[in-house]
Amino acid sequence: MLFLVRMDVQVPHDLPADAFEEIKAREKAYSQDLQRQGKWQALYRVVGEYANYSVFDVESNDELHTLLSALPLFRYMKLHVTPLAKHPSSIR
C-alpha cells in the first residue's frame, strides 16, 4: 500500500539544542534504515519550511502508523497521510 505523508516539524523553542541534535541523529538513522528496507520510498524537503513529503510502501495502515509513531521526532510532528492508488494513465 502506498501512502503520501506530509510531515511538519514543530520543535518547542525551549528544547535544549543538544537534546534536539541527538533526536535528529536518531531520526536520520531510523529514516535511512526504513529507506534501505524499501518501506520509505521517497523523501522530499519542502523548500523554506521544516517539513517534508514522503512516500511509504507498507503492508497496512497499522504498519504505517507503527513506523510513523516510532519516529524520534513524532511527538513534534503534525502529519497528514494520503492513501495512494495507481493512476490508469501511469506508464510505471
pLDDT in tens, 14-55: 999 999 999 999 999 999 999 999 999 999 999 999 999 999
- What band does 3 get if pLDDT is binned at 50, 70 and 90? very high
Q: Assess whether pLDDT exceeds 90 at residue 92.
A: no
- CATH 3.50.50.60 corresponds to the domain 2-84: no
For residues 73 and 9, the answer to whether their CB atoms sit within 8 Å is yes
Partnered with residue 42 across adjacent β-strands are: 55
Q: Where are the domains of the chain?
A: 2-84
Q: pLDDT digits over 71-84, tens only?
A: 999 999 999 999 99
pLDDT number for residue 21 = 97
